[in-house]
Structure formats: structure tokens, C-alpha cells
A = this chain, B = another copy of it.
């Protein structure tokens, strides 16, 4: 119905307006007789008809992220590069207005905080708002239809400058999150895709510049087992399970081959094994990643070879201009032919056809205007997303805290008056900034504000006196600080996980006043809170991530108990010494006695974390019980593997259902609260070593009132039970299993699988000659292994 309304609302006049907004003109001009404008044809046929008219030069010119189009054909220029990580964001294809309409868009929290919500429905709602706002921008030629989001690399090392862009460290969590995100972004219209999402960065990209290992050059050494069990699942979810429209290959190489030049990765795994084979699916390079194939990767001897191997491997778009600069030479040298160009261009334009780019007012969402941007619903959703993610790390009972008129509230820290700091990177322009200081002033308290030390530990120098003065005066002390994009950012990894000396000094001195003292730890990468957790004078600790446009309100509403916290840490909080135990370049997850690595993530880390993955306190208490009987018959505690596989009609065996465990969650306290029901699997099954446990299901329950019980459904598939062997095959194994609800398990179910180990997924093996050296350090040029050109055989 919405679509019909749209057409009616626009009509012919509106369509004429659209033409002025960068859309191709299918009514007049040269395109009208090209089949690309024939809405009765299927998308790929339409795109083929368009590309058939291109000259070779026109083909090559349109391989870059900024396509000039083909003016003589009436095909307008198009920018493939838009960003929308947590709202329509500044990027080459997005054009915010200085005044009037389209001067802002809703800015949600960074994914790391939305990840902490463990609320898939929320993520889908957020993504739906983003795509709606994107469509509104698009209708007025302020954005294209392709968004290079999400960043779904697992956040395995908390030093990573871009960890904030991800939902956390757990591959199941990321897979489930991204599935919902993509549904929200791409919509569920049968004919038209709302916008195209782009899963990035494929694959094993999670380093910026640590110790000289620039991302443009880093070669990630990952064995098949950990590649499949850890680095791949979010991308498999995108490609195989969520029909994402686009992928981005990454800067790094994987086991010696730059990902953008890797036919095994882009064809054998992505397109063949995962059947990501719709003709409208395309791959873009990360920006200048094709250039990096030549230098610094030195994977090819010439620039022409670099663009040729990348195009042939399946990198359809070059973010940059390296394709348009160097494909002419490659073409002249016979390294590529028209078929190579056509394949990529047809993918691109089929995708645009799928989004109604050529279809004028036939397209749903065409009636969206700036009235549909930052609606009250969207603004409330951004607030709720922040509230749901904010995580209570410590509480001695001080929270929730009554703040009344006249309460003297000392608000201290370099986040206390945060504005754009709250957004993190890849942000747009929000309708407002409700930071902590703004929010504190809404409480009616008399706010005593002092800035305090910056996250980099730079000298507070002249900030000590105001801090002490505020603390002396205050009835309550709230410190909002930690790290921000000055410490963790694209291009720059963190070098420490410790609070700085200046921060610890101020925090401990504030605590020494013996007043209610709340620390709100900001930023994506966890800091080692050991000293704060131990300090009895620190009443409470919240983690606030990058909470977006309404972050201050969310923080103070939680402090005051307007709403109860239920977020869970999406990453482990390690002791600060962790950074000296494992280099960022070590991609291995399992502990290693030789290297001294204590392992990565809650699945493998074999020492005591400061706070575990999924830690998060409440203002009430919960108990949980797995129902003793139910429709799926999980009262059984032994299963025969072959029986489990019988009758499964899923195209992929890991998606075969195992059991849905219903969990009754009771709020035994008095405060209404959400509760994230987490199901972890442990046990001795499959290849040793065995992980400590692994997340296999979660559901966030909402607004469970005191004394009430709510029921969560933990859906386990055979994939939930399976393990990955050293060849990358996914195998269902006999052995002992335990399903644990929550991190200090509130309830547990033990069961056993019997019978023969059965492979659910045969991993496509990489070429045998694939480089697998142990030399992690890449220090420069000319100092490494002798140059060796590795051109895929089909070139």
C-alpha cells in the first residue's frame, strides 16, 4: 500500500522532478529505447542491454567508485561510495545540506554499543530507519543507493582502532546481528531492494598500524580452522544467509594473497561455496586496495597486472581511480578482455536495476522526504539503542541514584560535555547532541562541571583545581571519560589498554571524598578497570561506548533508574598487561605455550579476565530455568547424529534445527528490567583443544517486571553444535555438550551426541601453494622475502 501511495503522491510531475535529481531519464533521451528501461524484463537482462552499448573506454571509465556514467547514452554519473554505519554518514556520495532540509540524519550509537544490547529486533529496526532516511536522501539527490556498511570483522584485539565499528568479538553474535541489520537495510520488498548493504572487510582485517604493520600491507596468517570458525562466520551470514547485495575486499592479504586479488576467496568461497551468485551481487575494493595489490603488497610486478588479477578475481569496483588509470594498459596487454569488464559492469548495473534506479516513481520509498528523517520514532529509537547497550559493570547499590532539584552534581571528565565525541567515526550530522552535561542539566541538579584529563593521558595541567573544586562541592560525583577517537581510530590502533596515570589519579582522588561516585567508561576498546573495581569508594561503573546523539540522556536515565541497564559487554575486558602477551599481528585464537599467547576472546583466553565477555549487571535479580518439557522434546539428553540429520530440508546442513530451548526468566527483584538471555555451549566434543565455551543463541527479553517471568527461546541448530576441523570442515561430533544460560550459569542442560562424526560443510581448500609462513612482521620494503609474482593461473 505504501508503494501505491508513493506513486500516487508523486505522479508525472514528481517524476520530472526526479529526473533533475540525478536519476536516469527513461522517458526521454537516449536511454528510453534501451531495454534497461523496460521494467517488464528481469534485472540482469536490462543491465546487459545497457552495458552492450558501452565502448571499451566507457566500460573502463565506469569501474571506479565514482562512475562518470555515459553521457552520450543518457546514463548519469553515479557514486557507489556512501556510508551509513550508524546512520546516514558523511561520505563521498552523501551530501548534507548546510541549511533547511537534509541538514541532519538520525545518528545511532556505534555498533559496539548496539552490539552490547544483544537485541536483534532492535538492530533490524535501526537499520530500517537508516535505509528509510537513506532513501529520503536519495530521492533528493543527496545520496546514492549503495552503502558500504556494515563493518563486520570480529573485534578480536581490543587495540584495533576500528573495533568501535563492529558489534564485538563473538562470531555468532556478529552473524546474528548482521543478518538482522541487512534485512533492515535492504528491506523485504520482493521486487526492489531498499538500499544495498556491503559487508566489509572480507576478510581477516583488524589491524591499522600496530608497530608499523600498516593495514595496506599486512599479511594475515590464518589457518583454515580458525578462519572458518572465527573470521568467516559473519561474512557467511552476509553472503549465504542474508543475501547482502555487496561485499568489500580488504586491505590486508590472507596467507600471502591480497584479498582483492584472490579468486579462491572471491570466487571459490564467496560466490561458489556460499552461493552468493545472484547476477546483481558485486564486490568493491576497499579504497585503493587494488593499488595496494601492487604496492605495498608487491603481489604483482606491474600496475596492469594488479588491476587485471583483481578484476578477474572478482573485484568489480575499485574504490579509487586505479582501475580507470590502469585497466587500459591491462586491456592493451591482453591481461583482461571485454568479458571481464562486462561481468563486473553487469553486476553493478543489475544491482542498480534491482533498486529501481531506472524505474522512476514505480519504486517504493519514492515518496519519502525530509519529513521521514529523524522522526520522533527514529529519535526515540536512537535513544533506546543507547539505553539498551549501556552496560553496568559495577554497582554497590548506589545506582539507581535519586537526583533531585538542588542535588549538587559534580560532572567531571573529558567526555562530560561530549558532542561529536559521542558519535565515533563514520558519522553523519545528528539533529542534536544531548551529551552528559546537557542531560545532567535536565535532571534539575545543580551541575558542577569540570573537564578533567583527556583519554590520551595528556597533561591536565590546568584542570586540577576545577576538578577538585567540583568534587568538594558536589553531593554526587559522576566521572565520564575513557578513550575516544583520538586514541582509537581508523588508521591508528591503541597502544595501551590502561587508564592513564592522570585519569587514575583524578578518579581515585574523586573517590577519596567518599561521596556517591560513578564512573562512566566511554569508548569502544575496553580499559582495564581493575583499580576501579577494587576501589570501594567507587560506587558504580557504567560502560557507555559511543552512544550517539542522545547518549547523555541515556546515561543519566540509567543513572537515575528511569530505565534499568541490561547491556552486556560485547568484548572481554583484559588486564592491561595483555598487550604485552600477544602482538596484534598474531591472528591465532588458541593459547600458544611457545609464543606465550594466553589466547584470544572468551572462547580461548586461558587467564582471568578483568571482566568477562557478556558481563553486565542489573538493578534487579534474575533466575532462569529451562522448561522441563516442550514441543521439541528436549527432555532427551542423548541424540544420535544420523537421526538429527534425518529429514532436514535445509540446503546447508549447519542450518538444520537441533532444539529450541525455552528458558523461563524470572525477575526476583522489584525493578522492571530487560534481560539478555545468553546460551553458551561447552563440553568435550570435536577436535582438541576445546574452547572454554561459545555463544550459540541469545534473546533479549524486554520490560520484565518485578516478580514476573518471561520466556526466551534459544534456537540451536546443528551448526550450533558443530566444530571446525583443521581443514576448515564443519563437523558434527559425538561427545558431551552443555548448554549454559548466562555467564555465571543460572541453569544448565547437559546432553550427549552419539554416532559417527558427520561433516556438515566441506570447506573449499585453498590452492596448495598458498603461502603459510610464520613471519608476522612486515617492516618495510626490500627487506622481506624475495619478490615473487603470484598470478592466478587463469590470467
Binding site for B on A (CB under 8 A): 65-66, 92, 209-214, 216-217, 286-288, 291-292, 294-297, 303, 319-322, 324-325, 456-465, 468, 491, 495-502, 504-505, 508-509, 528, 530-531, 575-577, 579-580, 777, 779-783
With CB as the reference atom, state the residue of chain B lying closest to A464.
Answer: B321
A497 to B781, CA, bound (A): 10
A654 to chain B, nearest CB (A): 37
Cβ contacts under 8 Å, A498 to chain B: 212, 296, 779-781
With CB as the reference atom, state the residue of chain B lying closest to A577.
Answer: B783
Interface class of chain A by DSSP: loop
A34 to chain B, nearest CB (A): 28
The 8 Å CB contact of A296, one of B321, B324, B500, is B500
Cβ contacts under 8 Å, A509 to chain B: 303
A72 to B213, CA, bound (A): 59
Instruction: Tell me whether A214 and B457 are in contact in the complex, defined as CB-CB below 8 angstroms, given that A295-B504, A296-B504, A505-B294 are known contacts.
Output: yes
A466 to chain B, nearest CB (A): 9
With CB as the reference atom, state the residue of chain B lying closest to A295.
Answer: B501
Cβ contacts under 8 Å, A92 to chain B: 462
Which of A324, A458, A497 has the most B CB atoms < 10 Å from its CB? A458
With CB as the reference atom, state the residue of chain B lying closest to A460.
Answer: B288
Tell whether, in the assembled complex, residue B780 and residue A491 are in contact, meaning their CB atoms are under 8 Å apart. no
A460 to B288, CA, bound (A): 7
Which of A294, A462, A465 has the most B CB atoms < 10 Å from its CB? A462
With CB as the reference atom, state the residue of chain B lying closest to A210.
Answer: B495
Tell whether, in the assembled complex, residue A780 and residue B501 are in contact, meaning their CB atoms are under 8 Å apart. no
Instruction: Tell me whether A580 and B779 are in contact in the complex, defined as CB-CB below 8 angstroms, given that A211-B211, A462-B320 are known contacts.
Output: yes
Tell whether, in the assembled complex, residue A576 and residue B783 are in contact, meaning their CB atoms are under 8 Å apart. yes
Known: A65-B461, A498-B779, A577-B779. 5 other contacts (CB 8 A): A92-B462, A212-B579, A291-B502, A296-B498, A528-B781
Tell whether, in the assembled complex, residue B287 and residue A575 are in contact, meaning their CB atoms are under 8 Å apart. no
Tell whether, in the assembled complex, residue A214 and residue B780 are in contact, meaning their CB atoms are under 8 Å apart. no
With CB as the reference atom, state the residue of chain B lying closest to A306.
Answer: B505
Lowest 8 CB-CB distances: which A-B pairs, in order? A576-B780, A296-B501, A295-B501, A288-B459, A577-B783, A498-B780, A287-B459, A212-B496
Cβ contacts under 8 Å, A462 to chain B: 66, 92, 320-321
Tell whether, in the assembled complex, residue A780 and residue B295 are in contact, meaning their CB atoms are under 8 Å apart. no
A322 to chain B, nearest CB (A): 6
7 residue pairs bridging A and B, Cβ less than 8 Å apart: A212-B579, A216-B457, A292-B502, A294-B505, A297-B501, A325-B465, A496-B779
A783 to chain B, nearest CB (A): 4
Tell whether, in the assembled complex, residue B214 and residue A295 are in contact, meaning their CB atoms are under 8 Å apart. no
Cβ contacts under 8 Å, A781 to chain B: 498-499, 504, 528, 530-531, 576
With CB as the reference atom, state the residue of chain B lying closest to A784.
Answer: B577
A495 to chain B, nearest CB (A): 4
A285 to chain B, nearest CB (A): 10
Cβ contacts under 8 Å, A461 to chain B: 65, 287-288, 319-321
Cβ contacts under 8 Å, A530 to chain B: 781-782
A331 to chain B, nearest CB (A): 17
A209 to B491, CA, bound (A): 16
Cβ contacts under 8 Å, A322 to chain B: 464
Cβ contacts under 8 Å, A497 to chain B: 780
A213 to B322, CA, bound (A): 39
Tell whether, in the assembled complex, residue A575 and residue B783 are in contact, meaning their CB atoms are under 8 Å apart. yes
Cβ contacts under 8 Å, A502 to chain B: 216, 288, 291-292, 295
A662 to chain B, nearest CB (A): 43
A465 to B291, CA, bound (A): 13
Cβ contacts under 8 Å, A782 to chain B: 530-531, 575-576
With CB as the reference atom, state the residue of chain B lying closest to A65.
Answer: B461
Tell whether, in the assembled complex, residue A214 and residue B575 are in contact, meaning their CB atoms are under 8 Å apart. no
A705 to chain B, nearest CB (A): 41
With CB as the reference atom, state the residue of chain B lying closest to A325.
Answer: B464
A364 to chain B, nearest CB (A): 33
A87 to chain B, nearest CB (A): 23
With CB as the reference atom, state the residue of chain B lying closest to A458.
Answer: B491
A467 to chain B, nearest CB (A): 9
A135 to B294, CA, bound (A): 55
Cβ contacts under 8 Å, A214 to chain B: 457, 495-496, 500-501
Tell whether, in the assembled complex, residue B211 and residue A320 are in contact, meaning their CB atoms are under 8 Å apart. no
A140 to B211, CA, bound (A): 47
A509 to chain B, nearest CB (A): 7
Instruction: Tell me whether A505 and B291 are in contact in the complex, defined as CB-CB below 8 angstroms, given that A66-B462, A491-B456, A496-B214 are known contacts.
Output: yes
Cβ contacts under 8 Å, A457 to chain B: 214, 216
Cβ contacts under 8 Å, A468 to chain B: 325
Tell whether, in the assembled complex, residue B576 and residue A501 are in contact, meaning their CB atoms are under 8 Å apart. no
A573 to chain B, nearest CB (A): 12
With CB as the reference atom, state the residue of chain B lying closest to A574.
Answer: B780
A530 to chain B, nearest CB (A): 6
Cβ contacts under 8 Å, A465 to chain B: 321, 324-325
A565 to B295, CA, bound (A): 32
A463 to B324, CA, bound (A): 12
Tell whether, in the assembled complex, residue A211 and residue B288 are in contact, meaning their CB atoms are under 8 Å apart. no
A65 to B462, CA, bound (A): 9
Cβ contacts under 8 Å, A575 to chain B: 780, 782-783
Cβ contacts under 8 Å, A464 to chain B: 291, 320-322, 325
Tell whether, in the assembled complex, residue A495 and residue B212 are in contact, meaning their CB atoms are under 8 Å apart. yes
A687 to chain B, nearest CB (A): 33
A499 to B217, CA, bound (A): 12
The 8 Å CB contact of A319, one of B295, B459, B463, is B459
Cβ contacts under 8 Å, A504 to chain B: 295-296, 781
A782 to chain B, nearest CB (A): 6
Cβ contacts under 8 Å, A463 to chain B: 321
Tell whether, in the assembled complex, residue A500 and residue B216 are in contact, meaning their CB atoms are under 8 Å apart. yes
Which of A500, A501, A530 has the most B CB atoms < 10 Å from its CB? A501
A319 to chain B, nearest CB (A): 6
Cβ contacts under 8 Å, A499 to chain B: 781
Tell whether, in the assembled complex, residue A580 and residue B321 are in contact, meaning their CB atoms are under 8 Å apart. no
A463 to B320, CA, bound (A): 8
A505 to B304, CA, bound (A): 13
A464 to B320, CA, bound (A): 8
A793 to B108, CA, bound (A): 57
A292 to B66, CA, bound (A): 50
A242 to B159, CA, bound (A): 45
A533 to B319, CA, bound (A): 31
